[in-house]
């Protein structure tokens, strides 16, 4: 007998690592029909196993004495799932072992059942001591070396370790109050309009009263400071959380038709009328989009500030500096002299943050006086939210002048 939660988590592991699927999309499909308790358990197993896969593979290879890459995909997924339960949860060892073995048997790999059983029993005996003995660093915390090195550049060795640990755990759950009263039991935060909650109430979202959005993300939207009557360009606007924050006559640009459709639907849900959604490439805007008072460039990025929310992102993240610079310059060209541009990215990589701003040649308008708690540790003219310091997703924000 295999529990529905373990079956769902196993399917997510197969799809993420064998079919290059996104973890959140794979999970939505795999967890369909699960009750709330089973769904929560399945998500913990699936996301935890994806997140910790580098460390899990090290343990499997050390104790199982066979390269993970040479295993059949169902065996690989079952071992990773079992290893995660044995190493990082309080799951009864016999349940973790027996159900993982059964997953291999159900995959019609009877010849691999004895091997899977033997490796899992070795993991049951040895994975906790092995994990405890690992030196602090990217192997123990399960990050690619290049991400660890990037964090060290920004925060030093100790700060990088604290950051990696923080993003291996769930961060706070925060919503933006769109209208009406805050949800019952919600806690006000240091970002106006942002409320900390135990869970997101889907009914209130559907009614357009709240919107799930981290404090870091909301901060980026607030830094725009646009007012009624002003013309605002919002580049790379989907899914629309920040778009919904902006006052004024907003033109929201999104290159992907499916994401543009999602943007329109989300703005409707939020009751944000009057936004003109344009499907266009942000680096090659239509000629008529010109003369704006403000622009928001919430650019695509490596996402190194949201690794807690997206467990598979650390294994697929890519810096996008050239695209970011092209988008920033494109937006600046469409803002009138004296107008402002807010550049934000959900990453902590300096090459995608301050280096892009410096390369743009735009004049920096300091933000630290307005938001001192979020001042960048080495460039205080910018903002940088840090998961291990602020408890929210990591966002870099700069406000710039077009002259």
Catalytic center residues? 346
- Give the contacts of 291 (CB within 8 A, at least 6 positions apart): 231, 334, 336
Neighbours of 377 (CB within 10 A): 13
Q: What is the dihedral of CA 58, 60, 61, 62, to 10 degrees?
A: 80
CA nearest neighbour of 309 among 45, 47, 32, 27: 47
Residue the block writes with tokens 């004495």: 65
Cβ proximity of 192 and 330 under 8 Å: no
Q: With residue 276 as reference, give the H or E element that holds it.
A: strand 276-279
DSSP codes, 220-233:
HHHTT---TT-EEE
How does strand 174-177 pair with strand 194-196? antiparallel
Alpha helices in 309-351 (DSSP H): 321-333
- Give the contacts of 6 (CB within 8 A, at least 6 positions apart): 42, 45, 81, 99, 100, 103
Q: With residue 39 as reference, give the H or E element that holds it.
A: helix 36-51
């Amino acid at each position: 007998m295999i529990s529905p939660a373990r079956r769902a988590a196993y399917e997510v592991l197969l799809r993420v690592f064998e079919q290059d699927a996104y973890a959140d999309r794979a999970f939505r499909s795999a967890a369909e029909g699960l009750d709330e308790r089973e769904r929560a358990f399945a998500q913990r197993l699936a996301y935890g196993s994806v997140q910790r896969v580098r460390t899990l593979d090290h343990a499997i290879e050390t104790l199982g004495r066979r390269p993970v890459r040479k295993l059949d995909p169902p065996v690989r997924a079952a071992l990773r799932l079992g290893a995660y339960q044995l190493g990082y949860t309080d799951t009864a060892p016999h349940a973790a072992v027996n159900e993982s073995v059964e997953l291999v048997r159900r995959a019609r790999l009877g010849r691999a059942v004895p091997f899977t059983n033997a490796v899992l029993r070795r993991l049951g005996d040895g994975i906790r001591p092995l994990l405890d003995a690992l030196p602090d660093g990217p192997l123990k915390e399960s990050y690619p070396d290049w991400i660890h090195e990037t964090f060290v550049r920004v925060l030093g060795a100790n700060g990088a370790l604290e950051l990696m640990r923080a993003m291996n755990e769930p961060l706070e759950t925060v919503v933006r109050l769109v209208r009406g009263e805050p949800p019952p039991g919600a806690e006000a935060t240091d970002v106006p309009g942002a409320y900390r909650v135990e869970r997101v109430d889907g009914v209130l979202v559907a009614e357009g009263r709240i919107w799930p959005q981290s404090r870091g993300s909301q901060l980026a939207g607030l830094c725009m400071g646009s007012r009624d009557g002003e013309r605002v360009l919002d580049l790379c606007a989907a899914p629309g959380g920040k778009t919904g924050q902006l006052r004024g006559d907003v033109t929201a640009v999104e290159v992907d038709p499916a994401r543009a459709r999602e943007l329109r639907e989300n703005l409707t849900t939020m009751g944000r009328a009057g936004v003109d959604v344009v499907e266009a490439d942000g680096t090659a805007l239509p000629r008529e989009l010109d003369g704006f008072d403000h622009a928001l460039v919430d650019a695509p990025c490596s996402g190194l500030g949201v690794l807690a929310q997206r467990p598979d992102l650390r294994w697929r993240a890519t810096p996008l500096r050239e695209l970011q610079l092209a988008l920033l310059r494109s937006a600046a060209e469409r803002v009138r002299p004296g107008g402002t541009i807010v550049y934000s990215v959900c990453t902590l990589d300096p090459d995608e943050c301050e280096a892009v701003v410096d390369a743009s040649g735009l004049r920096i308008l300091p933000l630290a006086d307005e938001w001192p708690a979020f001042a960048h540790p080495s460039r205080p003219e910018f903002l940088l939210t840090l998961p291990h310091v602020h408890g929210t997703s990591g966002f870099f924000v700069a406000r710039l002048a077009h002259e």
